[in-house]
Amino acid sequence: MNDTSKPGNDRSDRYYQRHIFFCLNERKNGEACCTQHSAQSAFDRCKGQVKAAGLSGPGMVRVNKAGCLDRCAGGPVAVVYPEAVWYTYVDEQDIDEIVESHLKNGKVVQRLLLPAGVGR
């Protein structure tokens, strides 16, 4: 049950309902990084789909770039807050499903969840 007596726990007072952060870290030393796995195009796709769905802006969804989120072994990765749900994705269909299911309707996309133990 949500405790709405504490600041920040009442969803109506949040500036954005949800944030999705995409790791766009790039390493030039050959180590694994999310940009090796089309993270930039996934970020662009997500921004476009969120806008096209009318979900962008205050009170709704914000799509943000992030540096390394320290879960590189599962890359490319993105995380949705406030639920703190971590995703790994492959293609545009995966991004579209995250937008439609989670960002629009609040339903986690189970098949794209990043396994709990994956780190750097």
Nearer to ligand FES, 11 or 120 (CB): 120
Q: Which residues bind ligand FES (CB under 6 A)?
A: 23, 25, 33-34, 68-72, 75, 77
Q: Which is nearer to ligand FES, 21 or 99 (CB)?
A: 21
Least separation in angstroms between residue 64's CB and ligand FES is 14
The Cα-based distances of 104 to 14, 22, 42, 52, 66 in angstroms read 16, 17, 17, 12, 21
Least distance to ligand FES, CB of residue 119, Å: 9
49 or 75: CB nearest ligand FES: 75
